[in-house]
Structure 1
Amino acid sequence: MNPIIDAHIHLDLYEESFRKQMLSELDQNSIIHLIAVSNDLNSCLKNLTWSMQEQRIKPALGFHPEQSLPSKEEAEKIADLIRRYEKHIVAIGEVGLPYYTRQDHPEIHVPPYLDLLEHFLRLANELDKPVVLHAIYEDADLVCDLLEKHQINHAHFHWFKGSPSTIKRMINNRFFISVTPDCLYEEEIHDLIKQYPLDLIMVETDGPWPFDGPFEHLATHPKMIHDSVRKISELKNQAIETVYDLLYKNTVKFYRLNRNE
């Protein structure tokens, strides 16, 4: 089995027993690293702790946008952690804009979320850290505006979905995307994979988020990304070995993992 990296997973959202089982099965599934993104301050602390116990866990610290805004104190504590552990973490994330929350609550005021995101982007610039982004559809253009404003090139749009014009803009900026196991059954993602350059793609689970299709009723596990790689190979009409190799190298390069071993 070829080596691969799960480029986006929420380890702290798994039940402890399943998380331990999952970690014990990484070797047999050729999962070399997990990019463990954070949701809030408590999540940041957990990911830091686990990453110091298990070198395959590579932490990213941030505040997930699909929730109420953090207090000023929490935001400052997260920023302090990022600065204190800048040599240990691989990225700032997950950060972005609350697209799904606004579908249910359109009254949500967006500017404070933009301010928080810009706060993290300034920090990424200051520390020269990659950014892991939650930004889809029209939100992606707002985020691209900020990335261009701050001249940030090291951006990863996880589980991305967007318009052809946004896709073109992101490709021109050489921004990375990652796809989840829903690439096996979502036509929208099939089209995205066909359009996006393979050297700007990574694979992820966004676990423990559940999936449909062949994964219905299954707990999300990093081993599922092997199915994603096979689907990408089919859609790109490229040899599976070539696709594995490039996806792996893309993730190592983007997250500078050779510097963090």
Structure 2
Amino acid sequence: MDSFIIDAHIHLDMYTQEEQTEIIKSLKRHHVSSLISVSNNLASSISNLRLAERCSAVKPAFGFHPEQEIPNDNDIADLIQFIDSNLDRAIAVGEVGLPYYKRQENSNLMVKPYIELLELFIRKAKEWNKPIVLHAVYDDATIACDLLEKYSITNAQFHWFKGDKPTMERMSQNGYFISITPDVMYEREINQLVNKYPITHMMVETDGPWQFAGPFINQLTHPKMIHKSIKQIATIKKMPLPDVQEQLYVNTSQFFHLKNDK
């Protein structure tokens, strides 16, 4: 029997209503105790709050995804006000970060406004005493580390992290967490990351509705996929599966200050 799991990063609001209903109804059957549903902007944050009101297993995080046009000052102020007004429901600040992939498409993209916005969210996360969920890969992870260190923040999750060894070692030394997606089943880069990063600072996620290849090709991304990810992590780490299951569950529960809902 599979152990209980937590999807540490999913965009539940981006699924269709039918898919949302299907996922929510199947959580217990697939031993999923919680979904950390991250937000892309204010509208997304409102949607995730409503989903959390509909299902207690949904734990909403509020933020602004960086792979889109930078918002204007009024939009930023409205989002900050919304988070401030709903702090009791916010499990974390996120998803926030820097536009790595958008910058690959547009080399002339001005990065400074995104860095300033990320710094604002980091500063507010400290003020609000909330964990922060980061979209910061490759060279952007270094910038994120600089800002986290500036504000002495350790409760940070780098979701679907990709980067070089020095950055990975810096993150590990600072006590930052990473979360592993189902592509651990077929991506060598992710396997190498799992092999090197401490299991004590690791979580598992789907980043749904993003779709995966390998054994998951043409499938709706569902939190149940995480069970296979965990088995692969146990194989890579050469650890007993029950130990890995328990460690990842405890890591995520403690990071997001979740009650034990097993």
TM-score range, shorter chain: over 0.9
Q: How much has 1:225 moved relative to structure 2?
A: 0.3
C-alpha offsets along residues 154-210 of structure 1, whole Å, 9 cap, x if unaligned?
Answer: 100000000000000000000000010000000000000010000100000000000
1:151 aligns with 2:158: no
Is the Cα–Cα contact under 8 Å of residues 39 and 65 in structure 2 kept in the other structure?
A: yes
Is the Cα–Cα contact under 8 Å of residues 13 and 51 in structure 2 kept in the other structure?
A: no
Identify unmatched segments of 5+ residues in structure 2: none
- AA paired with 1:29? H
Secondary structure at the aligned position of 1:166 is classed as: helix
1:49 aligns with 2:55: no
Task: Compare 42-51 and 80-89 and name the one that shifted more.
Answer: 80-89
C-alpha offsets along residues 95-141 of structure 1, whole Å, 9 cap, x if unaligned?
Answer: 00000000010100100000000111111010111000000000000
- AA paired with 2:179? S
2:257 corresponds to: 256
Is the Cα–Cα contact under 8 Å of residues 178 and 203 in structure 2 kept in the other structure?
A: yes
Q: How much has 1:72 moved relative to structure 2?
A: 1.3
Percent sequence identity over aligned pairs: 47
Provide the C-alpha distance between the structure 1 equivalents of 2:73 and 2:20, rounded to a whole number of angstroms. 31
Q: How much has 1:258 moved relative to structure 2?
A: 2.2
The size of the alignment, in residue pairs, is 261
Q: How much has 1:88 moved relative to structure 2?
A: 1.5
2:136 corresponds to: 135
Provide the C-alpha distance between the structure 2 equivalents of 1:51 and 1:69, rounded to a whole number of angstroms. 27
**Aligned counterparts, 1:54-203, within 5 A:** 54-203=55-204
Q: How much has 1:84 moved relative to structure 2?
A: 1.1
- AA paired with 2:137? I
TM-score (norm 1): 0.98
- AA paired with 2:119? E
Identify unmatched segments of 5+ residues in structure 1: none
- AA paired with 1:148? E
1:19 corresponds to: 20
Q: How much has 1:259 moved relative to structure 2?
A: 9.3
TM-score (norm 2): 0.98
Provide the C-alpha distance between the structure 2 equivalents of 1:62 and 1:74, rounded to a whole number of angstroms. 12
- Change in Cα spacing, 1:77 to 1:259, as seen in structure 2 (3 Å) is farther
State the superposition RMSD in angstroms: 1.3
